[in-house]
Chain A
Amino acid sequence: AQTVTQSQPEMSVQEAETVTLSCTYDTSESNYYLFWYKQPPSRQMILVIRQEAYKQQNATENRFSVNFQKAAKSFSLKISDSQLGDTAMYFCGYTGNQFYFGTGTSLTVIP
């Protein structure tokens, strides 16, 4: 079965602090990419970061970075120096032949 699990439905973080969102997945595919999408209150889905499964080096995009543990099938997202604009729903997932999404983590950045 192809599944993506986000075990933290809701999280909060103080502005300027660091927060890590968890994600695990299960796939039998050998070639795939992992991703995190952000959905702010505007409802627009925005790609935050992606990672090739065959690469050991963790991807980074400015304040966003991932911790990819392939053997454990874990793909967590770290947000550094959290900003109010980071308040959003975050979806992790992976894509091989299709796209698979987790159920989301609602992140609130507290001023």
Chain B
Amino acid sequence: NAGVTQTPKFRVLKTGQSMTLLCAQDMNHEYMYWYRQDPGMGLRLIHYSVGEGTTAKGEVPDGYNVSRLKKQNFLLGLESAAPSQTSVYFCASRQLVSGANVLTFGAGSRLTVL
């Protein structure tokens, strides 16, 4: 019962480099989310997906792209990393529990952009 798995867990990039964070869930959830967590700012939504082949912008989408080619995977891409994208990134999937939406989170990915 893996739940939500994020890879990699840590990554250091140089400014201008690109990378992709992978999120995989084995719970057959339709909705998936990417958040970033910064000190004093809580969790901010980057992009989300309501199902395979769909994506939508969240609160802070600039500088990121996403894809949901398969239902179980939600990829977050940085085409040209900037120091402002240094953060901890969380993926989550949503399920309905007793009539309420509940998020299941991955363990997070710490990204440092030098």
Contacts and interface: CB of A to CB of B under 8 A. Distances in A.
B101 to A, nearest CB: 5
A44 B45 contact: no
Interface of B: 33, 40-43, 45, 88, 90, 92, 99-103, 105, 107-108
Interface in A24-69: 33, 35, 42-45, 47, 50, 52
Contacts, number: 39
A52 B88 CA distance: 29
B90 A91 contact: no
Nearest to B90: A45
User: Per DSSP, are chain B's interface residues mostly helix, strand or loop, or mixed?
Assistant: strand
A40 to B, nearest CB: 12
A98 B45 CA distance: 10
Contacts of A42: 107
Contact of B88 (A4, A43, A102, A104): A43
Given A33-B100, A43-B107, A52-B100, A101 B40 contact: no
A103 B4 CA distance: 23
A99 B43 CA distance: 10
A22 interface: no
A83 interface: no
Contact of A45 (B99, B101, B105): B105
B42 A103 contact: yes
Nearest to B38: A103
Contacts of B103: 45, 47, 99
Contacts of A101: 42-43
B107 A103 contact: no
A74 interface: no
